[in-house]
Each structure stands twice: as structure tokens, then as C-alpha cells.
């Protein structure tokens, strides 16, 4: 995508104006935390601010876009912009840092500034691993900041998900924040600030971003993704304030229809106790590939949750597409307080089995057989 500016941050006018005012008045704190749920826009706002701070001729409304600093940050390759993000151990090293994955990180930012942890794990091919900030990541930052700024101006450390730090790296990060090198700004982007080390929280200025308004998501989908107005409104409602999820919904519309078909067929066969046909259903599901299987099971969870809520007859609580609502009118009565928890647990177990490379045909057939019992409760 083109060089990021504040206009690329969807909605969040109050947060944007607050950040811009800090820059205009020259009172950007040395440690700032932007927090919000996935898809709210904390990372895009952090990126826009980082570019603004590193611009050699900043304007009141953002970076100039023409200076050497802007040209470098447009490629996310400015020598005084240091990214720090959680990673996983790889075959090549058991002591990974952000530097080992900087190519994938820049590619992700060039592709979209709205992304989530699932997408990042896929980028670094670590779907079944837990990502974290290892202690050597804090050591790397200390070494980088011990040097003078390459361009002679400001220096920015942009850290994503500080809540993924254990005690050792968090305490080293705390020391950097407590005793920052000159002209250095730390921008922390958090999804769950309540999990960040308390002493770090006490030393940062915080700006919280609320979930996006549906109209802001719908407008962005129409203007940026070319979505039809009706589809944009429908997806914006289902996304529940998460623009990243809205993008997934728009781009995966065909895939979700396929998953809906799998779910409908599964429920009909289970209700009819058609074991032979369920074996064929499991065989078909086993051929989707592991990543699609994981997305399908997550979609099953969404459908189950919405069908259960449908029984409360409160449209404000329902986040389904029109196609899904049509199915819910007939299926929702079969999801009730007696079986909803059991069905959800079976889906979760299937997700764990798929993630651990258990034979998918066996996973889906076993899941289907258990559903025969649960669906009639």
C-alpha cells in the first residue's frame, strides 16, 4: 500500500486529534501506549505517528511525504525506526529476535496495516506455536539504542504486543523506558494492556481506542475495497467494530459460503443419524487442508454462537449475514442451553486435534458422531 498517513486510520477521530495535538505542541511523551481491540486501529495510528516523528519537515497534519526520512519510512526501512514484535523459535535459531523476521514484517505492513495475531503467525509460518518477546529481543534493543541516531534526529521504537513479554524481557524494557536515550520515543501497541507489566503501565501515557463504529467500517469497505453498499453494511455489522475481521469477511465471502454449506450438511446428517453419509462428509472435510480446516471450525463456532443467541429474539445481539439468518430461522431451536456448551467444547477439541496434526478424517468423523447425540438434546 502507499505510504501510511493519519488518513489511513479508519475512524478514531478523537484519538487521531489527540495524537496530532501532542505532535503540534511538541509534547509527545517518550513512552506512549496505544491500546484497543484487534481491528480498532491502534497499529495504523502508531505507524502514522512514527512516520510523523521521523519526518524532517513535518506538517501540522502529518509527515511531508517528500523528505529523505519519509521516503525511508514509506518502505519501513528507516535506520532510526526500530520495530519490536513477538516471534517464535525457528529451526535456524532458538534465540530469535524481531531482526530475524523483519522481512516478513515489512511485507505485512506493505500488504495491509490492519492485521491480527493469526495473520502474523501465518506470515512467519508458526501457526501452532506461541509467540513471545524473548529476552534477547530486549538485549537487541539496548544495543541499538546505545548508538547515536543514524540521521541525527529522533529515534522511534515501535513495539507490538508488549503483553507478550515475560518478566525478564519486560524488566529490561522497563529499564529502557525509565532511562531513555535522548530524542527516543517508545510507542507501545497493545491489545490487552491489563496484561502488561504494571511498572511499565505506570510509566507510559495511554491512549485507548474504542471499537470502530459500523458506519466507519462500512464506508471504508466501500471506498477502499470496492464493496457494494449492502454487503459493506452487512459485513460491518458482523465485524463488531473490528476492521481486520471485516476485511477477512469481504475477501473470504466465497469461502464462508462453502463453510456454511459444510455446517448445514453436517447438522442435517447428524439430525437424521445418517452415519454412512457423515463418513463421506468427514472425508470431504479432511481434504480441505489444515489451514482451511481451522478457519472452517472457527466459522462453525461463530455460527453456533449466533444460532444460540438467535433464540433470544434480540436483533441487536445477532451478528450474522442474511444467508446465515435464513438458516438460523430453521436451525436455532436445535441449539439450546442443554447442548450449546457441549457442542462448543467438541468444536474446540476438533480445533486442538487439527492443530496437533491428528488425522483429519478421524477428527471430523469423531466430531460428527458426537454431534449426533448433542443435536437431539
Q: Which CATH number fits domain 6-210: 3.40.50.2300, 3.40.50.300, 3.20.20.70, 1.20.120.1730?
A: 3.40.50.300
Q: Which CATH number fits domain 253-374: 1.20.272, 1.25.40, 1.10.150, 3.40.50?
A: 1.20.272
Phi, psi torsion values for 59, nearest 5 degrees? -95, 170
C-alpha–C-alpha distance, residues 239 and 216, integer Å: 12
Phi, psi torsion values for 50, nearest 5 degrees? -60, -45
Tens digit of pLDDT per residue, the chain (377 long)?
568 999 999 999 999 999 999 999 999 999 999 999 999 999 999 999 999 999 999 999 999 999 999 999 999 999 999 999 999 887 667 789 999 999 999 999 999 999 999 889 888 888 667 899 999 999 999 999 999 998 888 999 999 999 999 999 999 999 999 999 989 999 999 999 999 999 999 999 999 999 999 999 999 999 999 988 988 998 898 899 999 999 988 887 768 888 989 998 998 899 899 999 999 999 999 999 887 898 899 989 988 888 888 777 666 555 556 666 666 667 777 788 888 899 999 999 999 999 888 999 999 999 999 999 998 87
DSSP labels, 135-192: HHHHHHHHHHHTSPPTTSS-EEEEEE-GGGB-HHHHHHHHHHHHSPPTTEEEEEEES-
C-alpha–C-alpha distance, residues 202 and 178, integer Å: 10
C-alpha–C-alpha distance, residues 155 and 184, integer Å: 5
Would you call 289 exposed, middle or buried from its count of C-beta atoms within 10 A (0-12, 13-18, 19+)? exposed
Phi, psi torsion values for 172, nearest 5 degrees? -70, -40
Q: Model's pTM, two decimal places?
A: 0.77
Amino acid at each position: 500500500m502507499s505510504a501510511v498517513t493519519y488518513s489511513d486510520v479508519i475512524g478514531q477521530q478523537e484519538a487521531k486529534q489527540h495524537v496530532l495535538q501532542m505532535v503540534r505542541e511538541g509534547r509527545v511523551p517518550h513512552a506512549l501506549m496505544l491500546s484497543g481491540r484487534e481491528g480498532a486501529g491502534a497499529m495504523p495510528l502508531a505507524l502514522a505517528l512514527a512516520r510523523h516523528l521521523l519526518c524532517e519537515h513535518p506538517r501540522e497534519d502529518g509527515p511531508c511525504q517528500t523528505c529523505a526520512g519519509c521516503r525511508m519510512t514509506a518502505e519501513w526501512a528507516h535506520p532510526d525506526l526500530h520495530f519490536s514484535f513477538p516471534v517464535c523459535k525457528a529451526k535456524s535459531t532458538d534465540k530469535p529476535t524481531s531482526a530475524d523476521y523483519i522481512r516478513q514484517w515489512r511485507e505485512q505492513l506493505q500488504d495491509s496495516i490492519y492485521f491480527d495475531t493469526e495473520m502474523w503467525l501465518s506470515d512467519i509460518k508458526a501457526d501452532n506455536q506461541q509467540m513471545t518477546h524473548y529476552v534477547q529481543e530486549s538485549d537487541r534493543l539496548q544495543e541499538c539504542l546505545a548508538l547515536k541516531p543514524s540521521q541525527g534526529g529522533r529515534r522511534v521504537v515501535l513495539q507490538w504486543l508488549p503483553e507478550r513479554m515475560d518478566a525478564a524481557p519486560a524488566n529490561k524494557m522497563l529499564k529502557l523506558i525509565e532511562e531513555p536515550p535522548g530524542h527516543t520515543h517508545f510507542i507501545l501497541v497493545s491489545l490487552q494492556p491489563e496484561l502488561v507489566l504494571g511498572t511499565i503501565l505506570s510509566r507510559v501515557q495511554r491512549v485507548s481506542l474504542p471499537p470502530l463504529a459500523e458506519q466507519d467500517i462500512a464506508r471504508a469497505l466501500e471506498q477502499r475495497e470496492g464493496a457494494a453498499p449492502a454487503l459493506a453494511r452487512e459485513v460491518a455489522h458482523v465485524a463488531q467494530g473490528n476492521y481486520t475481521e471485516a476485511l477477512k469477511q469481504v475477501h473470504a465471502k466465497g469461502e464462508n459460503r462453502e463453510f456454511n454449506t459444510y455446517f448445514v450438511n453436517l447438522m442435517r446428517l447428524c439430525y437424521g443419524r445418517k452415519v454412512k453419509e457423515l463418513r463421506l462428509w468427514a472425508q470431504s472435510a479432511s481434504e480441505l487442508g489444515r489451514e482451511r480446516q481451522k478457519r472452517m471450525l472457527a466459522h462453525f463456532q461463530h455460527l453456533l454462537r449466533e444460532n444460540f443467541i438467535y433464540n433470544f429474539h434480540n436483533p441487536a445481539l445477532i451478528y450474522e449475514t442474511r444467508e446465515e439468518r435464513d438458516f438460523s430461522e430453521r436451525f436455532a431451536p436445535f441449539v439450546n442451553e442443554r447442548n450449546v456448551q457441549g457442542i462448543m467444547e467438541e468444536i474446540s477439541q476438533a480445533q486442538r486435534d487439527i492443530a496437533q496434526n491428528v488425522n483429519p478424517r478421524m477428527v471430523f468423523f469423531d466430531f460428527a458422531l458426537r454431534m449426533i447425540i448433542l443435536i437431539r438434546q
